[in-house]
């Protein structure tokens, strides 16, 4: 009987001590550490000092980052023409077959040139253009993509 009572008391203590760690984060509710952050439902909350209390701020909406996958042609972006092709977007060509990479670049209205194929370098100008991608091909697949 005494063992059972100890087990029940220990269990209750565990549950009551663990609950503050899982407290709901919402604007205005108490927090325990200044400048602590928590992301809930697409908002990032920061623990701030309000008077003498520590509370969660209103929260800032967190943008979802779009991931670019290698070997998959990205969607057209107006930024490619205005500010140039980013390295991350150019690297999506890596892993594609040569013909697929060329058609993807054409679809996105990128300049496209092959600078090396299977260890053989081709002549290329040294002018740097933000609207062109230079690719290296090994065994029919794009192994490197550079902007310029």
Do 93 and 35 share a structural domain? no
Residue 48 included in any domain: yes
* Mean pLDDT computed over 99-105: 93
Check pLDDT > 90 for residue 103: yes
CA distance 117 to 94: 14
Single residue among 35, 64, 93 that ends a domain in this structure = 64
Q: What is the mean pLDDT of residues 100-123?
A: 93
Whether 91 and 43 share a structural domain: no
Examine the pLDDT at 18 and tell me if it is beyond 70.
no
Parallel, antiparallel, or unpaired: how do β-strands 132-138 and 111-117 relate?
parallel
CA 106, 111, 117: angle at the middle one, nearest 5? Answer: 95
- Please state the rounded mean pLDDT for residues 49-75: 81
Do 83 and 42 share a structural domain?
A: no
Radius of gyration of the chain (CA): 27
Range of the domain at 111: 78-147
Strands (E) across the chain are located at: 37-40, 43-50, 53-56, 60-61, 111-117, 120-121, 132-138, 141-147
Residues 42 and 84 in one domain: no
For residue 90, tell me if it sits in a domain.
Answer: yes
Name the pLDDT band for 19 (thresholds 50, 70, 90): very low
In a domain, 89, yes or no: yes
Query: Per-residue confidence at 75, pLDDT binned at 50, 70, 90?
Result: confident
């Amino acid at each position: 009987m005494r063992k059972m009572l100890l087990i029940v008391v220990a269990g209750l203590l565990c549950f009551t001590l663990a609950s503050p760690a899982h407290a709901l984060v919402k604007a205005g509710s108490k927090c325990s550490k200044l400048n602590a952050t928590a992301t809930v439902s697409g908002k990032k909350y920061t623990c701030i000092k309000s008077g003498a209390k520590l509370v969660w701020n209103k929260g800032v909406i967190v943008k979802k980052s779009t991931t670019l996958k290698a070997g998959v042609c990205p969607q057209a972006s107006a930024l490619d023409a205005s500010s140039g092709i980013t390295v991350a977007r150019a690297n999506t060509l890596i892993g594609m077959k040569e013909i697929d990479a060329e058609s993807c670049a054409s679809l996105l209205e990128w300049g496209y040139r092959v600078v090396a194929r299977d260890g053989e370098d081709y002549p290329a100008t040294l002018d740097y253009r933000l609207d062109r991608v230079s690719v290296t091909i090994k065994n029919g697949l794009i192994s490197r993509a550079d902007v310029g």
